[in-house]
């Protein structure tokens, strides 16, 4: 996918900086939130907060690549990414792991996502309809950390409308996807129908998958470091990410979890494909479209590195090495090109060293 030596060298420098500079910062931030989570008074909330940090660390690691975007203050942006992603992962656990199935509770909890992306919105009572409440200020501290970082960005007012649009779709998905399986599919299809009219080239469930990504939010915040950012440029970034880059992100996530989700009876969007051939074909379409959409971003080389990194990160996961998943992974890596395969090799090495 990279056509010049200069582009390849530029991307290699990004990878080196990510490993040497960014990953230690991510660990530092996660240690901070782990200590705070460990002091949550309510046992159930404490268990879910700690589990989300322990089991979903790689979400924060992957999202923090945006701290390397041109003009970004790396340490501050890592703090933002880790805080926002930790909100996402914590709320996912509260909706999925605590035996609760309340639409009102889930909707109220996810006001934390939209509040986090609006620097001057204040904070809601996120646990208003949730049976557990005493978190010692943990969720509010996460929200306020995001708000404080975004308030520093010179062009965030230009990026905020698009970021909030993505965050609203994300929050709606999380509200509906965790409902009782007996009613979940019908409610989700009604929601998708009301939202997806402008996306005829993807299926309803692919649309839903695309709403589940936080990457567009990170990219818009990164672009807001540039004072000259315009509303039109922010809209172009949003269109580049949704649905293709965001969709690729979440479909890969569901792909590597498919065996585990099948065993546990969990919702998984790749189950809506007729067979493995259709799954591979659609993943290849999303991959190809994601690479093409990078041309519409402020820094196409950076964006292509992100897309290659997504494929490398997910397809290097041990779960992608099972017999069925391995064949699909190989085909995806072959069509993605040599640079993606190089990053895949790096990710496998980092996993062996337990850096990822």
Q: Domain range holding 279?
A: 5-352
Question: Using CA atoms, how far apart are residues 65 and 293, in angstroms rounded to an integer?
Answer: 18
Distance CA 311, CA 18 (A): 16
The predicted model gives 170-175 an average pLDDT of 97
CA separation for the pair 231, 243 (Å, rounded) = 19
What pLDDT, on the 0 to 100 scale, is given for residue 183? 94
d(CA 330, CA 54): 29
Residue 61 near residue 18 (C-beta atoms within 8 A): no
Q: Is the pLDDT of residue 124 over 70?
A: yes
Question: Residue 96 and residue 170: Cα distance in Å, rounded?
Answer: 15
C-beta separation of 110 from 168 below 8 A: no
Separation CA 131–CA 19 (nearest Å): 41
pLDDT on residue 2: 44
Which one has a higher pLDDT value, 339 or 252? 252
Task: Give the least confident one: 54-58, 96-100, 182-186, 319-323.
Answer: 96-100
* Cis before 265? omega within 30: no
Which of these, 110, 114, 26, lies nearest to 356 by C-alpha position? 26
Q: Per-residue pLDDT for 190 more than 80?
A: yes
By the 10 Å C-beta count (0-12 exposed, 13-18 middle, 19+ buried), 98 is classed as middle
Query: If we measure between CA atoms, which residue out of 252, 177, 178, 267 comes closest to residue 215?
Result: 252
Q: How far, CA to CA in Å, does 347 sit from each of 250, 312, 333?
A: 18, 6, 13
Task: Note the helical H segments in the chain.
Answer: 5-17, 23-37, 43-55, 57-63, 74-96, 103-109, 111-116, 138-150, 156-177, 181-195, 204-210, 215-223, 231-240, 246-256, 258-264, 276-293, 300-315, 323-336, 338-352
Confidence of residue 7 (pLDDT cuts 50, 70, 90): low
**Number of domains within the chain:** 1
CA dihedral 24, 214, 287, 4 (to 10 degrees): -50
State mean pLDDT over 324-331: 94
> What's the pTM value of the predicted model, to 2 decimals?
0.94
For 68-84, what is the mean pLDDT? 96
Maximum separation of any 2 CA atoms in the chain, in Å: 57
Q: Which three-class secondary structure string do you get for 253-283?
A: HHHHCHHHHHHHCCCCHHHHCCCHHHHHHHH
For 244-267, what is the mean pLDDT?
Answer: 92
Question: pLDDT digit string (tens) for 129-157?
Answer: 999 999 999 999 999 999 999 999 999 99
Place of tokens 């979400």: 59
Lookup result for tokens 């996502």: 113
Mean pLDDT of the chain: 94
CA separation for the pair 102, 128 (Å, rounded): 12
Which pLDDT belongs to residue 97? 77
Distance CA 113, CA 122 (A): 12
Tell me the average pLDDT across 191-215: 96
The reported pLDDT for the residue numbered 8 is 58
Mean pLDDT over residues 304-318, rounded? 94
Place of tokens 């989570």: 37
CB proximity list for 218: less than 8 A, separation 6 or greater = 63, 66, 81, 84
Q: Tell me the C-alpha distance between 250 and 268, whole Å.
A: 10
**What is the CATH number for 53?**
1.10.600
């Amino acid at each position: 996918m990279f056509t010049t030596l200069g582009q390849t060298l530029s991307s290699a420098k990004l990878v080196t900086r990510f490993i040497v500079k960014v990953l230690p910062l991510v660990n530092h931030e996660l240690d901070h939130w782990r200590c705070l989570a460990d002091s949550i008074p309510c046992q159930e909330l404490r268990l879910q907060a700690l589990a989300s940090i322990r089991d979903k660390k790689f979400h924060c690691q992957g999202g923090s690549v945006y701290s390397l975007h041109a003009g970004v203050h790396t340490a501050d942006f890592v703090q933002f990414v880790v805080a926002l992603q930790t909100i996402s992962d914590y709320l996912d656990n509260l909706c999925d792991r605590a035996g609760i199935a309340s639409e009102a509770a889930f909707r109220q909890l996810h006001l934390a996502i939209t509040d986090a992306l609006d620097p001057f919105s204040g904070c809601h009572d996120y646990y208003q309809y949730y049976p557990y409440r005493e978190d010692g200020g943990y969720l509010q501290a996460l929200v306020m950390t995001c708000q404080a970082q975004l308030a520093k960005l010179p062009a965030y007012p230009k990026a905020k409308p698009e970021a909030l649009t993505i965050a609203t779709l994300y929050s709606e998905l999380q509200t509906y996807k965790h409902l009782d399986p007996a009613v979940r599919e019908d409610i989700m299809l009604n929601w998708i129908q009301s939202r997806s009219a402008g996306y005829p080239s993807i299926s309803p469930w692919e649309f839903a998958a695309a709403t589940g990504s936080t990457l567009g939010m990170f990219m818009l915040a990164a672009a807001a470091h540039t004072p000259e950012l315009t509303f039109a440029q922010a809209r172009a970034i949003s269109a580049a990410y949704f649905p293709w880059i965001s969709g690729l992100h979440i479909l890969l996530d569901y792909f590597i979890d498919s065996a585990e989700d099948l065993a546990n009876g969990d919702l998984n969007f790749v189950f809506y494909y007729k067979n493995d051939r259709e799954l591979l074909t659609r993943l290849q379409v999303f991959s190809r479209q994601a690479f093409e959409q990078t041309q519409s971003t402020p820094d196409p080389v950076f964006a292509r590195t992100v897309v290659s990194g997504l494929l490398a990160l997910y397809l290097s996961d041990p779960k992608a090495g099972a017999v069925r998943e391995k064949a699909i992974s190989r085909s995806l890596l072959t069509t993605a090109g040599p640079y993606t395969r190089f990053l895949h090799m790096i990710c496998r090495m980092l996993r062996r060293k337990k850096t990822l």
